[in-house]
Each structure stands twice: as structure tokens, then as C-alpha cells.
Amino acid sequence: MTDVNAAPAPAASAAEVPMVLAEGVSKSFGSNQVLKSISLEVKRGEVMCLVGPSGSGKSTFLRCINHLEAVTTGRLSVDGQLVGYREAGGKLYELSPKDAARQRRDIGMVFQRFNLFPHMTALENVMEAPVLVKGTPKAQAKARALELLDRVGLADRSDYYPAHLSGGQQQRVAIARALAMDPKLMLFDEPTSALDPELVGEVLDVMKGLAQSGMTMIVVTHEMGFAREVADSLVFMDGGVVVETGPPREVLANPQHNRTKAFLSKVL
Amino acid sequence: MSTSASGRGAVGTVPPPHGGHDEPAPIKAVKLRHPWRNVFAVVLVLILVLFVLDAAQRPAYDWPTVAKYLFDRRVSQAALVTLELTALSMLFAIIIGVILAIMRLSPNPVVKSVAWFYLWIFRGTPVYVQLVFWGLIAIIYQTIDVGIPFTEPWVSFDTADLIPVFWIAVIGLSLNEAAYMAEIVRAGLLSVDAGQDEAATALGMSWSQTMRRVILPQAMRVIIPPTGNEVISMLKTTSLVTAVPLTTELYSRTRDISAETFNPIPLLIVASIWYLFFTSVLMVGQYFLEKRFARGIGDRPDAGPGPIVGTPATGVLPAVVQDPTIGAKQGGDAR
Ligand SMILES: Nc1ncnc2c1ncn2[C@@H]1O[C@H](COP(=O)(O)OP(=O)(O)OP(=O)(O)O)[C@@H](O)[C@H]1O
Ligand SMILES: [Mg+2]
């Protein structure tokens, strides 16, 4: 854990494999380079908060981690496994859709706009993937789903359709839905940005509980209070590059770069 | 308009209550008359009554013959054939239509163009002409051979023996209808928010699982109403299979009977009554299907979830801004 600048650690052998390791990750859409040589490390059980102005590539980076987008250059691995590729004999082979889906199972994702399945109740939303993807028996999946809904404080809302839940409740169902797959890593893309201010707290509390339970999390957020209190590291991105990274209290109290200062002065 | 928070009363037609009554008095006003509207309605009813009275005793309609043939075995059997034609043709049309719709959304340009070409052919020519073509299939392709192209076939079937006329009609109708269904399904698929696909994929669902469990059920809401219309339309289009020629369905059969009785009009009425009966049943079925697929969506209350705001959150500092009375259960602890 003390090995801060873990430069070349490709092979997954040691017990201390970081949960997420990005080495020189770049991503372009056509000629538009959105991520420019990002190198980051998130250790097991760590919470990393990712902040930065709109368009800086935060969502794109999260989407690369679970291979909703393919990276253009660099190496990105989750739990020692290369994302989206298989390496054999010094060559990379693109994963089949089936194998890519298998990788995504272990990575939970929570979206700004919840993206709950509107034609399913809260309970069905949470049960769906375990039953469909993992083949968990229905009764078992249901018990687990109810347990998770209880954990996010929505035991009494399990039969509600998303349209009949408040934004904060929907987002908590979405968190429960992601947790139902027993992920080893959770990605949050501005989970509270679409919420009315009075509903933000209930979602952040669930996330805080999750962090305390030891979940590895990457959170894109504008909630600096949450970052300060919960995160182990804060990363400031701008224009597709990592400008500054460090413990949140230090970065927030004493930003080193002008761009960080300018951004924080607007957000805080 | 009403910008003040207490401007509710100003929006409605109700004047602000005088005094402290909480129940404002209903408006007493002389109703605006619509004399011409009423005149028109009366005229319409009159015309209708005249027509019915006249039709009831006009010999050309020959109501006794209508009554005689309405439940004639030959007619009801033909009605059943019409139903079978409709059901089977729609079934295949929907299956092929879904495939074509997915092909049109494919990133592969060849796949996309093939689907487009299909639509171009089958929507660009009259269904009657297509049915005549299908009727001639046994002349165009006299045998159907199984084997390696340009070599001696292993087995060879006589086309006319292999495909009965009924199935030629089904093929003709469904291939034509598939082109229309493809566009309906495509519109339905495109109506589903891209976030749904993303959420399902992120959960580890495969493409087909995502389609089956997440995208198609939601697309159904958009697909069903026009598909219901297509079914009703198909029911009526089956009367064209006489072009194949298939003569066991409702319209051809009643025409054949009228060739014996030398009186086509009552049998046209018989056929119309059957068609009307079926379309009415289908409309009821469509109503219930639409309700079923509106689950969780159709009855969205006005005050839905928090608005999806485009502006970035402005760094709400929880400790300061959090209203302790709201969400106190979770949010009240030390920040
Ligand atoms: N699928 C795509 N195709 C082309 N360009 C894209 C695509 N997705 C994102 N981009 C571009 O990548 C850039 C970064 O987008 P991204 O969504 O990652 O930013 P962000 O930091 O999440 O911003 P925000 O705070 O607004 O969510 C933007 O300029 C965007 O236009
Ligand atoms: Mg984003």
C-alpha cells in the first residue's frame, strides 16, 4: 500500500493488485481526444472522487473502466485483469461480447439519470440481473433484493414502479440494483446531480455506508463535502488530463494548480 | 401569467371568493348556445333513420338471404380461414419485421443496406401485384433443389406440390407486411432511452438479454398501437389473396356463393358483417394490450421524479444547506 508510484506492475501476481490501474490511458472519439494519458490507481477498499469541469472526460473514463467504451491507447486493468482484452504471447485479443459481459458483472455502475427499468418494480429491477445473468434462483434473488432494498432504506417501496418513486428513492434503488450483482467495484457517475437538493443527502448517506463497508468506489461528483469526508483520494481532471491528485483535504484546502483553484472556487 | 406563489385562484375561471368562505360559489352564467350544432345533429339523425328504414325494406339488400347465409357453414369456415391467414401472416410479419428493424440499426453497412433494399421493394409495389407474383412462383421456380449450386441437386421438389396455396398466400402477405412492421419496430426501438441499454449492459446482460428483457418490453408501448392497426388492416387485406388465387377465405367464398344465387349484394353484406365483427374484437384486444404494456409508465403522475436538470450541481455543502426537517431520518447525522 505504501508503494505510491507503482510504475510498472503489469502482471497480476502479488496479493496487492490494485483494484483499478490505469497506465497512460487515452481515448479518442474520431479526432477528438477526450482522455489524454491518464494514469491512476485505486486500491482495494479505497474511495476515489473524480472532479472536474463539464466535458473533462470523467464520464468517459468511468465508461472505459467497465468497457462501455474501448480505450484507444494505454493499459487499463481491473483487479489485475485487462479490461476488454485478453493478453497472450505479447498480443492483445479483443474479448468476445460474452467475456466482456462477464467482466462487467463484477463492476457496478450508477448513473446520473438512474436508468432504472421503468417497466419493472423496484424489487424486479434489483432481481433482474442476478436471475438473468447469474442464474440465481428466483427465491434466493428475491430475498437478497429485499435485503438490499432494506439496506438502502426502501424496504417498504419494493412494489413501486420507478415512476412512482422520488428521484432520491430511484437512485437508491439503482444502487441496490448494482449491488445485487455483488460487484467488487462500484462506479458512480454524478449520482446526485439530477436530484433536488433536499434529496441529495439520502443518496450520499447510502454511498457513505457503502464506503464504510469496504467497497471500492470511484465517484464522479460535485459534492465536495462528500469527497472530503469519505474519499481516500481526490482527482481533479480537466481537458482529459489528470491535473492534480491527492488526499481530499489537502487538495481542497491547498490546491497546487491554478486550474484546480479556479474550479474549486466555483464549486465550493 | 400568474407568477405569485399564491396565484392558484387567478389561473382558473373562478373569481376569488369574497368573505372567508373556503368553498367558492359556482359560476352562474347563461350558457352559450350552439344552435347550428344542434340543427346539424338533428339532420344527421334524420338522414340515418331514413336510410335505415329504407334499407330495411329495399328488396336489393335481400335481408332474408343475409340471414340465411350469415351462419352458413361454408361462410363460417371461410371466416376461420380468414382468421388463420391474418394470424399467421401477422406472426411471420412481426418476426421478420423485428429482424429487419434490428438489421436496419446494425452498424454494418451491408446488413443495413440489405434491409433497406427489402423495404424498398416490398413497400414500393402493391400487395396485390406481389400476391399475383407469389401465385406464379410455381411457374417461375418449377422445382426447389437442395444441393450445391451449379451441380446436380441431391433432392428436387416440385414447387407446386411443396407449397400449398394457403401457405403461398401467407408468404405473400407476411413478406409484404414485414416491411411495414420493420418500420414500426424500428421506431419503437429508437424510442427507448439509450440509458436503458447502457444500464443493462453495465449489469452484465448480453445483447439479446438486453433486447428481450429491457428494450423490447419498453418499445412495445410504441409498437403495439400501430401494430393493432396493421392487424386490422391485414384482416381486410386477406380479401386480396384471391390474386394467388386462394378462394377459401371469406370474401372469395361469399363471392362464389353469390355466383350460385345470382345475387351478390346480400353476400357482400354477410362478408362485411363478419369483417366488422372481427375488427371489433381486435380493437377490444388492442385496448387491453396497450394497458398491459403501459405498466409503470402510462400512469406516471404529473409530479414525476426530480427534474433532469442540465446544470451541474452547485456544490451543495451538506452540513450547511441540508434541511434537517427533510430526510432527517438519514441526513440528520453529523456532517
Ligand atoms: N460517444 C461519444 N462520441 C463522441 N464524443 C463523445 C462521446 N462521449 C463523450 N464525448 C465527448 O467527450 C468529451 C468528454 O465527455 P464526458 O461525458 O466524459 O465529460 P464529463 O467530464 O463527464 O462531463 P460532464 O460533467 O458534463 O458529465 C466531451 O467533449 C464529449 O463531447
Ligand atoms: Mg459526465
> With 90 as the cut, is the pLDDT of residue B146 above it?
no
pLDDT the model gives residue B297? 63
pLDDT digits (tens, 9 = 90+) for A3-49: 444 444 444 445 689 999 999 999 999 999 999 999 999 999 999 99
Provide the percentage of residues in chain B whose pLDDT is more than 90: 59
Contact (CB, 8 A) for A56 and A35 = no
Helices B216-237 and B264-293 pack at an angle, to 10 degrees, of 180
pLDDT tens over chain A, length 268 residues = 444 444 444 444 456 899 999 999 999 999 999 999 999 999 999 999 999 999 999 999 999 999 999 999 999 999 999 999 998 888 989 999 999 999 999 999 999 999 999 999 999 999 999 999 999 999 999 999 999 999 999 999 999 999 999 999 999 999 999 999 999 999 999 999 999 999 999 999 999 999 999 999 999 999 999 999 999 999 999 999 999 999 999 999 999 999 999 999 888 7
> With 60 as the cut, is the pLDDT of residue B185 above it?
yes
pLDDT the model gives residue B310? 36
Ligand 1 near A34 CB (within 6 A): yes
Q: Report the run of H or E that residue B97 belongs to, with start and end.
A: helix B73-104
Query: Mean pLDDT of all residues in chain A?
Result: 91
> With 90 as the cut, is the pLDDT of residue B314 above it?
no
Peptide bond into B245 cis (omega under 30): yes
pLDDT the model gives residue A251? 93
Domain ranges of chain B: 87-250
Check CB contact under 8 Å for A194 and B308. yes
CB within 8 A of B45, min separation 6: which ones? Answer: none
Which chain B positions have a beta carbon within 8 Å of A184's beta carbon? none
| Third-level CATH fold of B87-250 | MetI-like fold (1.10.3720)
Contact (CB, 8 A) for A13 and A28 = no
Supply the ipTM of this predicted assembly: 0.90
Please give the model's pTM, rounded to 2 decimal places. 0.78
Ligand 1 near A59 CB (within 6 A): yes
pLDDT digits (tens, 9 = 90+) for B51-85: 999 999 999 899 999 999 999 999 999 999 999 99
The cell numbers describing B54, all together, are: 329504407
Query: Mean pLDDT of all residues in chain B?
Result: 83
Check CB contact under 8 Å for A97 and B206. yes
Check CB contact under 8 Å for A133 and B308. no
User: How many whole angstroms separate alpha carbon A262 and alpha carbon A265?
Assistant: 5
Q: How far is B194 from chain A (nearest CA, A)?
A: 9
> With 60 as the cut, is the pLDDT of residue B313 above it?
no
Mutation target among A62, A113, A115, A207 for the B interface, most CBs of B within 10 A: A115
Mutation target among B203, B295, B326 for the A interface, most CBs of A within 10 A: B203
Which chain B positions have a beta carbon within 8 Å of A197's beta carbon? 316, 321
Please give the residue that has the higher pLDDT: either B23 or B169: B169
Ligand nearest to the CA of A27: 1
CB nearest B195 (choices: A115, A153, A193): A115
Q: How far is B319 from chain A (nearest CA, A)?
A: 8
pLDDT digits (tens, 9 = 90+) for A143-172: 999 999 999 999 999 999 999 999 999 999
